[in-house]
Structure formats: C-alpha cells, structure tokens
Amino acid sequence: PCWRVEDFVVAQECTRCSSFQAKTVTECSRTGFIEKITCATSNRDEYKSCRSAVMEAHVFWRFVGTMMCVAAVFAVLVVCRQRVLDRKALEKVRKQIESI
C-alpha cells in the first residue's frame, strides 16, 4: 500500500463498511471500518483499515458496565458468605458455652 511508504491525505473519514464493501474490500475484514486516503506522491486513492472512536467508546463502556455487574455479584456473594461464617462461629460459641 502506498500509505506505508508515502505521505497521504485522508479523503474520507473512518466509516463503517457497507455489506458490499465487507465482501469486496479486504481492509474491511479487520475492524469493519475503513477510510479512503489519497497518497501524495503517486496520487492514488486507496482504502485503509481504521478504528472508529465511537465504536471504541461503546466497547469501553460495555466493558466497564460488565465489570461493575461482576463486581456487584461478587460483593453480594462475599456478604452472604460472611453471614454464613458469622452464624457458624456464633453457633460454635453457643455450643461451647452450653457444654460448660
């Protein structure tokens, strides 16, 4: 690709590939997004795979939400386990006092 060896200008910003482009343009297969660039020296138009900032933000917030849910579930499990252990400890102390 000319954009690896030459300076280039972005002719079209990073956009999602259409279903037709996904089948015909090989750069779409990596991220699902492409941008059209024009190489300065050879003056050729080519496509380059890119990452969408909006999509990256969406993936990040989905990850954060998932981690918050997992943390909440484990916090509930810790509280429940602590209650069970406290109950067992109290029962053990009660039995020791009764045996005296």
pLDDT confidence of residue 40: 81
Query: Is the CATH number of domain 2-51 3.30.720.220?
Result: yes
Place of tokens 């279903």: 19
Q: Are strands 8-16 and 33-39 parallel, antiparallel or unpaired?
A: antiparallel
Per DSSP, 37 falls in state: E
Q: What is the pLDDT of residues 23-62, one digit of tens each?
A: 888 888 778 888 888 888 888 888 888 887 788 888 899 9
**Domain definitions of the chain by residue range:** 2-51
Q: Decide: pTM greater than 0.85.
A: no
Q: Which are the contacts of 29, defined by CB distance < 8 A and separation ≥ 6? A: 22
pLDDT confidence of residue 48: 84
